[in-house]
Amino acid sequence: MFDFQDLFQWDRFITPTIIKTFYWLVIAVIVLFGISGILWSLTAMAISPFVGFIQLLASIASMFVGIVFSRIAAEFILIVFRINEHLGAIRDRDGAMH
């Protein structure tokens, strides 16, 4: 994790350590909305079975797509920070050679 002093110093980024927490929070919200959509579609099936079934499929598909896209977004953020770390290592290595 990160130390409380890291919040006041700029030597180390804290985003890579807390991005996983935000990822799991986003997953929880997506699942809650998906379950809500599934329950809503089951209620809609009482009125129109076809429309309710389409809503059920859309709710399940949107949960899957939301989880995949949130993972892609989290990995993109982590990749940006890794690129920064690698560029810093290259800079330090080249600075030591000169």
pLDDT digits (tens, 9 = 90+) for 14-56: 777 789 899 999 999 999 999 999 999 999 999 999 999 999 9
Q: At 85, phi and psi to the nearest 5?
A: -65, -45
Alpha-carbon gap, residue 55 to 46, rounded angstroms: 13
Alpha-carbon gap, residue 11 to 85, rounded angstroms: 12
pLDDT digits (tens, 9 = 90+) for 56-98: 999 999 999 999 999 999 999 999 988 988 888 888 887 776 6
Nearby residues of 2 by Cβ (< 8 Å), 6 or more positions away: 12, 14, 17, 18
Alpha-carbon gap, residue 43 to 90, rounded angstroms: 59
